[in-house]
C-alpha cells in the first residue's frame, strides 16, 4: 500500500474522490542502505565501546513503548470521517457495501469493489463516530430515503461488541499499578533485604563481626578503667566459656552502662565490638518504636531470634531509656502505649535465655533513675556499670589519646597533665572537642603546629563560647562588667573555701556572657556548710560590687542569683543543713514528675523564709568583705579595663599571695614529677595463656 502510494505520488489522479488525497504520500528520500556500516572512530584505538548502562531496561522500555504505540495507534489505512463526508463521498456515490456498528459508538464502513477503480487502496477502511445508535439509524434511514434507494438495496447494518485487549488493560491499570507499587515496596523497596513494607517489623540492628570489625579497641578508651575491667569479663566469657563453666559459673545476662553524656558509654561498646571477636549487634532504643502498632515488640523478637542463631554474641542497645522507662509514667493516658509493649517484650526475651546460649545484652543510658525496676533486676541486667566523669588522672589519659594525631612540639605527656588540671569536670567528649578546637585554631592562623596557647584558647571557647568581637560595649557597660568581675575575683581571693582563680576576663562571649572567671576546683565529692556558704558569697560578689561602686544594680547578675537560690534550696530541702527544717530531705530521686509538693503549705512557707535568710546572710557577709577590700577591687577593675584578661600571676602581682596556705590542683599534679602509671592509659590488649584479655600497666 505504501509502495503504491509512493509510486503514484507524482501522478495526477483526477478520478480520486474528494477527501482521499491523504492516502497518497509525498515522495521521501531513500533511507540508508542496511549494508552501509558506520565509519570507524579513529579515536577509539580499536577498543570496544563502553556498554550502555541498564541496556536491558532501555531495550525493554523501547519495546514496550513500540507495542503500546502499535496497539493504540489507528491503522495507516484507516481514516476517520464525519457524517457529512461519509454521505457525500461514499453513500451518495453508492460505494458503501455494508456498515458495522462497534460497541455502539463507532461505525466501520466497508466499500464495494468498484471503489478500487477510483484509486482507493484495496485495504483502505473508514469509520466515523456516533453519539447514539438511535440517532445513527434515523439519519441513515433518512439519507437512503432521500436517495430513493429501494428497501432491498439499502446498506445492511450489523452490530458487534468488540473487546480490545488494550482497553481491558487500561481498565485494570489502576489496580495493576497499586499491585505493582505494593510488590515494589515488599521486594524492591527501601526495606531492601528486610522485606520492604512487610519487613517493618524486622530488627534494624547493625551486625559487626570479623569481616566488618570495628577498629576501636580497649586501648583507645581511657578514663574508665573499672568499667573496662567489667566489660572485659563479658568478652572473656564469650571467647573462652569453658574456663568459667568448669567452676560452675554462668555468664551474666547483661549490663547497664550509665553515666553523664559524653563519658564514653557508646565508645566503650564500640571497643567491646572491636575486641570481642564474636558477632556484635548494635541498635538504638528509639529504633524499636514506630508509628505502627506492634512494630516494637516485633523488632525485639526478631533481634533476639537473630542473636540466638549466631551465639555466642553481644547485643548493645544504646539509649535504652527510650523504651525502658518505668511503666505507668509518661505513658499515653487511656490507651495502649506502644513503648510499654516493647518493654514487656524485651523483658520476656531477656528472661527467656538459657544459660548455655551465651548471649549478652549491654545497654547504655544517661538516665538510669527512670528505668523500670523489672529491667534492672538480676537475671536481666545483672551488672550496673557506672561511668562517671573522669578525675584528673583519667583526663590526662584521655588527653594523651586525643593528642596522638595532633602535631605539636610540646611534650605530649606534660601537655596532657597540664590540660587535665585546667579542665575540671570535663568528660571525654569535651576533651575531644578541646583538642579538635585547638587544631582548628592553629590551622586558622596558618601555624605549622599546635601550640600550648591554642589549647588554652580552646578551653576558654568550650567553657565560655567564642569571643564576640562584634558585641561592642559602651564605656559605662564595660566599666560595670569590669567591677562586677573584679568583685568575683576579690571575693574568691580572700575566702578560704573558694576555688583558686585561674583567669578573669571581660571579653564578651557567644553564650551571652559579658565576662567570666575561670577557677581551678579540686575533684571534690563532699561539701561542708562553710564551703557552700563561701561559694554563695563568691557568686554574689559581682552584684555586691556593682551596688558598692555604682549605687545601683543591673541585670548582669541574674545567672548568679539563680545559682545562689538553687544552692540555698538544696541546703534546706535536700541536704538537711537548716536548723528549723531539720535533717529532712524532700527530694524524691525516683520520681520523674511531682504533681504535689511532699510537704505542707506551712512547711513550704517556712522553707521559703529560711532560703531567703540564707541568701540574705551571704549577701551581707559579702558586702562587708568587699567594703574592706574596696581598694583591691579598684586595682583589679582598672587593670581589667586596660588588659581585658587577667591571669593568676597578674592577681599575685597586684594583691600578693592568697592569705591561705594552699596547694592547687595545678601544683599537685602538673609540677610534680610525672608517673607513668598515672599518665598513660593501661593496656587492655594483652592476652593471657588462656586467650583471655588482661590489663597491664
20 pLDDT higher than 90: no
Shared domain for 376 and 259, answered yes or no, is: yes
Residue 439: band (very low, low, confident or very high) from pLDDT cuts 50, 70, 90: very high
Tell whether 180 and 210 lie within a shared domain.
Answer: no
Q: Residue 642: which domain range?
A: 475-586+597-671
Mean pLDDT, to the nearest integer, of 215-243?
85
Helix (H, G, I), strand (E, B) or coil at 418: helix
Task: Kindly state whether residue 44 falls inside one of the protein's structural domains.
Answer: no
Q: Give the residue with greater pLDDT, 63 vs 128.
A: 128
In 3D space, the residue among 499, 506, 512 whose CA is nearest the CA of residue 485 turns out to be 506
Q: Is residue 577 part of a domain?
A: yes
Cα 568–Cα 570–Cα 571 angle in degrees, nearest 5: 65
Residue 615 has pLDDT above 50, yes or no: yes
pLDDT at 677: 46
Question: Among the residues of 522-600, which ranges form H helices?
Answer: 529-550, 558-573
d(CA 233, CA 250): 12
Asked if residue 314 and residue 236 are part of one domain, the reply reads yes
**Torsion of Cα atoms, 597 then 599 then 602 then 606, to 10°:** -90
pLDDT tens digit sequence for 563-591: 999 999 999 999 999 999 999 888 765 55
Q: Which of 337-346, 419-428, 482-491, 572-581 shows the lowest mean pLDDT across its residues?
A: 337-346
Q: Judge whether residue 166 has pLDDT over 50.
A: yes
Mean of the per-residue pLDDT values for the chain? 79
Same domain, 411 and 316: no
The pLDDT of residue 398 is 93
Q: How far apart are CA 381 and CA 177, in angstroms?
A: 50
For residue 422, the domain's CATH number is 1.10.8.60
DSSP codes of every residue in 291-346: SSTTHHHHHHHHHHHHHHHT-SEEEEEESTHHHHBPTTSS--TTS--HHHHHHHHH
Q: Give the bridge partners for 607, in sequence order.
A: none
- Residue 315 · residue 307 · CB < 8 Å: yes
Residue 89 burial by Cβ neighbours in a 10 Å radius (0-12, 13-18, 19+): middle
Among 150-159, 185-194, 349-358, 375-384, the least confident range: 185-194
Taking only the tens place, the pLDDT of each residue in 355-383 is 557 788 999 999 888 898 988 888 888 88
Res 14 pLDDT > 50: no
On whether residue 591 sits in a domain, the answer given is: no
The predicted pLDDT at position 353 comes to 55
What's the predicted TM-score (pTM) here? 0.68
Q: Are residues 425 and 499 in the same domain?
A: no
In a shared domain, residues 501 and 457: no
| Residue 582 parent element (H or E) | none
pLDDT at 485: 92
Residue 71 lies in a domain: yes
Considering only residues 513 and 299, tell me which one the structure prediction assigns the higher pLDDT: 299
Residues 256 and 123 in one domain: no
Query: Does 7 reside within a domain?
Result: no
Q: For the ranges 184-193, 199-208, 353-362, which has the lowest average pLDDT?
A: 184-193
- What pLDDT score does 238 carry? 81
Grid cell, residue 368, equals 538510669
593-610 pLDDT per residue, tens = 555 678 888 888 999 999
Name the 3-class secondary structure at 496.
coil
In a domain, 415, yes or no: yes
CATH number at residue 650: 1.20.58.760
Cell of 307: 542473636
Residue 184 has, within 13 A of its CA and on its CB side, a CA count of: 7
- 43 has pLDDT over 70: no
Residues annotated catalytic, as ranges:
485
Number of compact structural domains in the chain? 4
**Distance set, CA 603 to CA 6, 574, 581 (Å):** 110, 14, 8
Q: pLDDT tens for residues 300-347?
A: 888 888 888 888 888 999 999 888 888 875 444 444 577 888 888 888
> Residue 189 has what pLDDT?
47
The verdict on residue 488 lying in a domain is yes
Q: What is the CATH number of the domain that holds 102?
A: 3.40.1690.20
> Of 435, 464, 493, which one is at a domain's C-terminal end?
464
The percent of residues above 90 in pLDDT, for the chain, comes to 24
Q: Is residue 404 part of a domain?
A: yes
Q: Is 70 in the same domain as 116?
A: yes
Q: Model confidence over 63-97: pLDDT tens digits?
A: 777 766 666 555 555 788 888 888 888 888 888 88
Rounded to 5 degrees, what angle do the CA atoms 477, 482, 483 make? 100
CATH number at residue 311: 3.40.50.300
Residue 533 has a pLDDT of: 94
Amino acid at each position: 500500500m505504501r509502495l503504491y502510494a509512493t509510486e503514484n505520488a507524482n501522478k495526477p489522479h483526477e478520478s480520486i474522490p474528494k477527501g482521499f488525497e491523504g492516502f497518497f504520500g509525498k515522495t521521501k528520500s531513500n533511507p540508508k542502505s542496511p549494508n552501509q556500516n558506520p565509519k570507524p572512530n579513529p579515536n577509539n584505538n580499536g577498543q570496544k565501546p563502553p556498554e550502555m548502562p541498564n541496556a536491558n531496561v532501555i531495550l525493554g522500555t523501547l519495546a514496550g513503548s513500540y507495542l503500546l504505540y502499535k496497539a493504540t495507534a489507528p491503522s495507516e489505512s484507516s481514516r476517520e470521517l464525519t457524517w457529512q463526508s461519509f454521505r457525500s463521498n461514499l453513500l451518495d456515490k453508492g460505494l458503501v457495501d455494508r456498515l458495522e456498528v462497534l460497541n455502539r459508538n463507532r461505525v466501520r464502513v466497508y466499500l464495494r469493489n468498484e471503489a478500487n477503480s477510483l484509486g482507493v487502496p484495496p485495504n483502505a477502511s473508514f469509520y466515523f463516530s456516533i453519539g447514539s445508535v438511535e440517532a445513527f439509524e434515523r439519519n441513515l434511514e433518512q439519507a437512503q430515503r432521500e436517495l430513493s434507494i429501494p428497501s432491498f438495496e439499502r446498506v445492511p447494518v450489523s452490530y458487534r461488541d468488540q473487546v480490545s485487549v488494550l482497553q481491558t488493560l487500561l481498565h485494570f491499570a489502576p489496580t495493576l499499578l497499586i499491585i505493582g507499587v505494593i510488590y515494589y515496596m515488599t521486594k524492591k523497596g527501601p526495606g531492601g533485604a528486610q522485606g520492604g513494607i512487610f519487613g517493618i517489623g524486622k530488627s534494624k540492628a547493625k551486625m559487626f563481626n570479623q569481616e566488618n570489625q570495628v577498629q576501636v579497641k580497649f586501648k583507645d578508651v581511657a578514663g574508665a578503667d573499672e568499667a573496662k575491667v567489667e566489660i572485659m569479663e563479658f568478652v572473656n566469657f564469650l571467647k573462652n566459656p569453658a574456663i568459667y563453666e568448669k567452676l560452675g559459673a554462668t555468664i551474666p545476662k547483661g549490663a547497664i552502662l550509665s553515666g553523664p553524656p559524653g563519658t564514653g558509654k557508646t565508645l566503650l561498646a564500640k571497643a567491646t565490638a572491636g575486641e570481642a571477636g564474636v558477632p556484635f549487634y548494635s541498635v538504638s532504643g528509639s529504633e524499636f518504636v514506630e508509628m505502627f502498632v506492634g512494630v516494637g515488640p516485633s523488632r525485639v523478637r526478631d533481634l533476639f531470634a537473630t542473636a540466638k542463631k549466631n551465639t555466642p554474641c553481644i547485643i548493645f542497645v544504646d539509649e535504652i531509656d527510650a523504651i525502658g522507662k518505668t511503666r505507668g509514667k509518661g505513658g499515653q493516658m487511656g490507651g495502649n502505649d506502644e513503648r510499654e509493649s516493647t518493654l514487656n517484650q524485651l523483658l520476656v526475651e531477656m528472661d527467656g535465655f538459657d544459660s548455655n546460649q551465651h548471649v549478652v545484652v549491654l545497654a547504655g543510658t544517661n538516665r538510669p533513675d527512670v528505668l523500670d525496676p523489672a529491667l534492672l533486676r538480676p537475671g536481666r541486667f545483672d551488672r550496673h556499670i557506672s561511668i562517671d566523669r573522669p578525675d584528673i588522672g583519667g583526663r590526662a589519659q584521655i588527653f594523651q589519646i586525643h593528642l596522638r594525631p595532633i602535631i605539636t612540639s610540646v611534650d605530649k605527656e606534660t601537655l596532657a597533665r597540664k590540660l587535665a588540671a585546667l579542665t575540671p569536670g570535663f568528660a571525654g567528649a569535651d576533651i575531644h572537642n578541646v583538642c579538635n578546637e585547638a587544631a582548628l585554631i592553629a590551622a586558622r592562623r596558618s601555624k605549622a603546629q599546635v601550640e600550648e596557647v591554642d589549647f588554652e584558647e580552646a578551653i576558654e571557647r568550650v567553657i565560655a563560647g567564642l569571643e564576640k568581637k562584634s558585641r561592642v560595649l559602651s564605656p559605662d557597660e564595660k566599666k560595670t562588667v569590669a567591677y562586677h568581675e573584679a568583685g568575683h575575683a576579690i571575693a574568691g581571693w580572700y575566702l578560704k573555701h573558694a576555688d583558686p582563680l585561674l583567669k578573669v576576663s571581660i571579653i564578651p562571649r557567644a553564650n551571652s556572657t559579658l565576662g567570666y572567671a575561670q577557677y581551678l576546683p579540686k575533684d571534690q565529692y563532699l561539701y561542708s556548710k562553710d564551703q557552700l556558704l563561701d561559694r554563695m558569697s563568691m557568686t554574689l560578689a559581682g552584684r555586691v560590687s556593682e551596688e558598692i561602686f555604682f549605687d545601683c544594680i543591673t541585670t548582669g547578675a541574674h545567672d548568679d542569683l539563680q545559682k545562689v537560690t538553687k544552692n540555698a534550696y538544696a541546703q534546706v530541702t535536700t541536704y538537711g543543713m537548716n536548723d528549723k527544717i531539720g535533717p529532712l530531705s524532700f527530694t524524691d530521686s525516683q520520681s520523674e514528675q511531682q504533681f504535689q509538693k511532699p510537704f505542707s503549705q506551712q512547711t513550704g512557707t517556712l522553707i521559703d523564709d529560711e532560703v531567703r535568710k540564707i541568701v540574705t546572710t551571704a549577701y551581707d557577709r559579702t558586702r562587708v568583705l568587699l567594703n574592706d577590700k574596696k581598694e583591691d577591687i579598684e586595682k583589679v577593675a582598672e587593670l581589667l579595663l586596660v588588659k581585658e584578661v587577667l591571669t593568676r600571676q597578674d592577681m599575685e602581682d597586684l594583691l600578693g599571695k592568697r592569705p591561705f596556705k594552699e596547694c592547687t590542683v595545678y601544683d599537685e599534679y602538673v609540677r610534680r614529677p610525672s608517673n607513668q602509671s598515672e599518665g598513660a592509659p593501661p593496656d587492655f590488649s594483652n592476652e593471657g595463656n588462656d586467650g583471655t584479655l588482661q590489663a597491664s600497666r
